[in-house]
Amino acid sequence: MNPDHLRGFNRPTNFRFGPDGCAYVGDYGAVRDFGQSDPDSKFKVAGDGPLVQIPGTGLIWKICPVAGGD
C-alpha cells in the first residue's frame, strides 16, 4: 500500500480522555479491501480475504486542545 494514501483516521475503534486533558484514539489502521478505496490495497489471493489489517498502519492518536483556543 502506498503510504501517501494513509492520512487521518482509517478505522478508529475507541477513544478515552487522559488525565492530561487530551483525547487518545485507538485506530485499527488500514485494511485490504476489494480495491474500492485504493487499488493498491486490493487483496491478491483468496486467503488474504477482505478487511485484513495491513501491518504497521494501526496507531494511537493523541489530540490535545491548543492553548488559548475556544
- Looking at residue 34, its pLDDT comes to 58
Please give the full DSSP string across 20-56, using - where no structure is assigned: TS-EEEEE---B-BSSSS-GGGB-SSTTT-TTPBPTT
- Looking at residue 38, its pLDDT comes to 65
Q: Is residue 14 part of a domain?
A: yes
Q: Is residue 68 part of a domain?
A: no
Q: Which residues span the domain enclosing 27?
A: 3-63
- Looking at residue 49, its pLDDT comes to 60
Q: Is residue 70 part of a domain?
A: no
Q: Is residue 69 part of a domain?
A: no
Q: Is residue 27 part of a domain?
A: yes
- Give 10-53 pLDDT, tens digit per residue: 778 899 999 999 999 998 877 766 556 666 666 666 666 666 67
Number of domains in the chain: 1
